[in-house]
Copies of this chain bind each other. A is one copy, B any other.
Amino acid sequence: MDSLDDLILGAGAAVYCLHASSENAAMRHMSRFVTHDPVTILKRVQKPPLMIVPQMEAERAAKESPVQILTRQQAGYLEIFKSDKNPWKIQAEMIFRQCEGPYLVPPDFPVALARALEPYNTVIVDAAAKLSTHRAIKTPEEIAWITRAQRAAEAAMDTAISLIRDAEIRSGILWHDDAPLTSDRARYEMNKVLLAHDCTAQDTIVACGPETAMPHCTGSGELMAHEPIVIDVFPCDNKTGYYADMTRTVSRGQPSGKVMELHQTVKDAVLLSEGMVCAGKTGAECFQAVRDFFAELGYQSDTEGFIHSLGHGVGLEIHEQPSLSGMGGELTAGNVITLEPGLYYRDIGGVRIENLGVVENHGFSRITNYSMEMVL
């Protein structure tokens, strides 16, 4: 893997520019600084990254981030402001004063700032997202952070599954503490566990019955016996910003034969893909192998069936490089990915199982440590 400097030089640029808040993974990856307002980061060749921050953030940034810090005032803000009130032009002039370009920017760089920079020098878009491929190779420290979030996910999963297992069944509905067990209740109990692990999860899925046919339906209402319940949780560690991701599909009591078949097939697909993944294989190959496996058993990949990709990278973004879709490129050792085949039918329901792990030179090292069984 090339160094960042090699990627910048290879693109014909002198500097890599970011302009984003820490919700942007590239920004947080480079600065390790958390802020809700956009700041500018400049990575010049053979120099450490430089971050331009408002005065109010200067002291905290110097303390919390390893990058070099410049306040906007030091970068000339007040002086430039006298002759130009357009915030994007001010930003561009501040960048130009630090580096004359050419400028390399990520594909999601704000178009307004790119246009304000163009009069100064060429703005090269990293359209192939080579720099996010760079970020997709995790250090041992990053793998430890993701693993910590994954253990929190498993503790939350355990809480939901215990609630479902321990529930009474009354007229086909699950009951707990003399009340119907709802999707919201299960989600709430999961979120409490995540909080105790200093993690936050949004849009946790606890979907039951017909809802499971929609892969990202978060679920609502009472949970039912003998129906598939899809539980998908992707917590973010509050301290590090790194995500984990896992899904299980369970049923309280035996579901229909068709659902059981879906579950067995999806579980086999997980094992198939886990056996196949290694550095050098492409995401597209792995995806296609699972599609083929499903197709041989009569499960298509059209408007129903296997209607999403096989998986995705996980890190500071819940969905990042590499992709295990039809467009997925070569996997590299150190990638952290999910493998999450699923099958969805409006008249049967949906089943998805998702494991997380590290791509190794000779295989896939699963991080997830949790039973894949369906019937509780």
Contacts and interface: CB of A to CB of B under 8 A. Distances in A.
A87 interface: yes
A29 interface: no
B107 A308 contact: no
A124 B307 CA distance: 35
A179 to B, nearest CB: 16
Contacts of A319: 36-37
A232 to B, nearest CB: 11
Interface string A72-110: 000000000000011110000000000000000101111
Interface string A12-42: 0000000000010000000000111100000
Interface residues of A, number: 54
B23 A87 contact: no
- Stoichiometry (number of copies): 2
Contacts of A200: 200, 202
Contacts of A112: 107-109, 125, 127
Contacts of A54: 308
Nearest to A317: B36
A123 interface: yes
Contact of A216 (B57, B113, B198, B344): B57
Interface stretch (A150-158, A161-169, A188-196, A260-268): A188-196
Given A56-B307, A59-B214, A110-B111, 5 more contacts: A36-B203, A56-B308, A85-B327, A87-B327, A109-B110
Interface of A: 23, 34-37, 54-60, 63, 85-88, 105, 107-115, 123, 125, 127, 188, 191-192, 195-196, 198, 200, 202-203, 213-218, 238, 303, 307-308, 318-319, 327, 344, 346
22 contacts: A23-B23, A36-B318, A37-B319, A56-B307, A56-B308, A59-B213, A60-B214, A60-B217, A63-B217, A86-B127, A88-B107, A107-B110, A107-B112, A108-B111, A108-B112, A110-B111, A188-B195, A192-B192, A195-B195, A200-B200, A202-B238, A203-B238
